[in-house]
Amino acid sequence: MRLLDAKPPKPPRKIGRYILIPLGVVIVVGIAFIAFRNFHEERAVSRFLTTLEAGNYREAYQLWQPSRTYSYEDFLNNWGERGDYGRIRSFRIVGSQSRRKASVIVFVTINDETPPCEFVVDRKTKGLAFSPF
């Protein structure tokens, strides 16, 4: 057999180009969507707790976006230094769960206490509330 008589190489299969690559892209986008779909709500809770950690109770009260019946004194009773958690020294967002389309429940461990505290965050206004669930 001479050099010019050799069989031509088989062309590469196109299955990787037309099926595997788009499938991989869909999987990566799906995982990113699941991991980051509640990012803004978790960031609102993180900002609120960071403000409390710094001792800026007036600003934290505004971030809470309270109703008319929830006064600043009520807020201090819940979140001040004599509140349920005392002075906020550390927190860690454990997870979040979407509740319908309007709100998200964010689970946070505050000062390493268990069980985690649950916040309800309104998707539109980013206002916070205690979870009734």
Q: What is the pLDDT of residues 122-133, one digit of tens each?
A: 999 999 988 776
Question: How confident is residue 3, by pLDDT bands cut at 50, 70 and 90?
Answer: low
The predicted structure's pLDDT at residue 133: 62
Q: What is the pLDDT of residues 9-53, one digit of tens each?
A: 787 777 767 788 888 899 999 998 888 889 999 999 999 999 999
Q: Amino acid letter at 25?
A: V
Q: Which long-range contacts (CB under 8 A, 24 or more apart) does 130-133 make?
A: 131/105, 133/99, 133/105
Query: Where do the structural domains in the chain lie, given as residue ranges?
Result: 39-130
The predicted structure's pLDDT at residue 52: 94
